Amino acid sequence: MKSRPPDGGVKWGIGDRALALFAPRIAARRYAARISIDNLRRGYEAARRGRGTEGWRTTGASSDAEIAVAGAVLRDRMRDLVRNAPMAAAAVQVLVNNIVGAGIQPRAASKSKTRNARVDAAWEQFSAAADAFGHTDFHGLTALAVREMIEGGDVFAIRRPLRAGVAPVPLQIEIKEADHLDDGRLLLREDGTRIKQGIEYDTAGRRLAYYLFPDHPGDVSSMFSGNSASVRVPADMVAHMFERQRVQSRGVPWGTPALRAIRDLDDWQMAELVRKKTEACMVGVVIGADEDEQSMAPKVTTAGGEDVEQFEPGMIAYARGTKDIKFNEPSSTSGVREWTMTQLYAVSAGFRVPYPMMTGDWSQSNFSSSRVGMNEFRRMIEQVQWHIVIPMFCQPIWDWFCEAAWTAGLIDSPTIPVEWAPQRFESINPLQDAQTDLLEVQAGISSMPQVIAKRGYSPQAVVAEQAAFLALTDSYGLKFSSDLRTGTAQAASGTAKSATGTADPAGQGDGAGDSGPTPDGEAPAPGASDTSKT
């Protein structure tokens, strides 16, 4: 007989009571464990087992074990959808456009301006000829690598040193897809080193080498070239870029959560299109057989008496012994747009791309909602740039470049610090954003180099260009309102204030401390006064 204790907890049976008489401590621990299990079951509904979760199949495998089984299939299906599904192709292109854009530009950041100028000049030479196949420059390689990472899960950049004299900087970069990795190679050595999914690790888990196929395994020519065996490539010759969603060694395609949704949407649209075409083929059927033809087999013919074997648009079929005609009535298509939009919302969420950017449909957005959505999307893009693309792809290539340029005698050190400047995001409200930048610089929250770098430009290059332009205008005796040396930028600031409705209409304020009411009778916004004077 079992009973329930006074506190209303788990059941307390005869065996428990007997154990409590001889070993109370063990009985107490046993009872406490039962209470903990019961609390967990009550606290996490998703962990319950029953009819509601009967079809929920999960696994406790590691991320590497799951990727080893499903990685190749996911890559193949993702690439198939990018080739054939418009939404998948658009989502990938939006991600590449925002992550890379025109390029992620490096700038040497040593303490010597002369050294920085020399390093930047050498980088320009290397960037123009960085592609080992000669198709594009470094920024084009970055865009290709990011696309491969999104479609295939990961990508490999291979360091290709050149002989002296072949190029100004004896270095080129080769991009290899994820399929080049021999992920079937597994080995556990006696010294503790191991090979897992084609990647060799030391005893501490650091990468020692990659086993890569010289030719793509799916290329027909590789079957006859004799390069079907993988080759060991040291880890310092490879830059492996992928997104880490768990503690894992390889990545998966970004659109993996949306693959089923895209496939189902395409199948549904195709089925709906076929149904509409079928309905449009048959305009009507002449029916109503005579009494003497009731026993004859049903037969449908054209007006000329030929048997109907396939339907064509605008067709009218005749049944044998007809006296009446019935016209086809196509079914309603209500709800198609709503259902399609719902599926596209799921697809955009799976790709982490805003719905309007993926579909081009901004009808459901206004200025405020689109700006909030873009801000969140840009945070994700910046995280990818600074946590994945720059440290896993751009920085290794910069280190290779510095070593190669130093070996060639172009720079005086094999290690040069660098600053990376991703392409700036286009402003949704340029005037407001420019005023915000100006106020932040004047308040000391930001520096002018930071504001310039945020726009994707080099502060040193902008200052040098500005100085050269001012020297040119001075030689012609020209003065512009944007010349900050003489404080004449006040006129430009006043023009900007007029555009926002905060300028002094009578022109009586001195612009420094004027806190009177605006023409609309409202007090000016903080910082709206003329702060361009020094």
Domain ranges for the chain: 1-50, 63-254, 272-327
The pLDDT of residue 342 is above 70: yes
Number of other residues whose CB lies within 10 A of the CB of residue 245: 11
Instruction: Indicate whether 274 pLDDT > 50.
Output: yes
Give the whole-angstrom CA distance, residue 229 versus residue 185: 11
Question: What pLDDT is recorded for position 318?
Answer: 57
Gap between the Cα atoms of 230 and 198, Å rounded:
9
In angstroms, the CA 515 to CA 56 distance is 65
- Identify the weakest region by mean pLDDT among 105-109, 134-138, 284-288: 284-288
Q: What residues contact 511, with CB distance under 8 A and at least 6 apart?
A: 490, 493, 494, 504, 529, 530, 532, 533
| Residue of 163, 171, 198 whose CA lies nearest to 184 | 198
Token pair, residue 94, equals 């939006």
Least confident of 5-9, 157-161, 198-202, 469-473: 5-9
The answer to whether 197 touches 180, Cβ cutoff 8 Å, is no
Phi and psi at residue 77, to the nearest 5° = -70, -40
The whole-angstrom separation of Cα 139 and Cα 394 is 10
The string over 35-49, giving b where at least 16 C-beta atoms fall within 10 Å of a residue's C-beta and e elsewhere, is eeeeeeeeeeeeeee
Q: pTM (2 decimals)?
A: 0.74
pLDDT tens for residues 53-69? Answer: 777 888 889 999 999 99
How do strand 171-177 and strand 238-242 relate by DSSP bridges? unpaired
DSSP conformational letter for 389: I
Q: What is the mean pLDDT of the chain?
A: 81
Q: What are phi and psi of 150, to 5 degrees?
A: -70, -45
Q: What pLDDT sits at residue 313?
A: 62
- Higher per-residue pLDDT: 121 or 48: 121
Give 243-254 pLDDT, tens digit per residue: 999 999 999 999
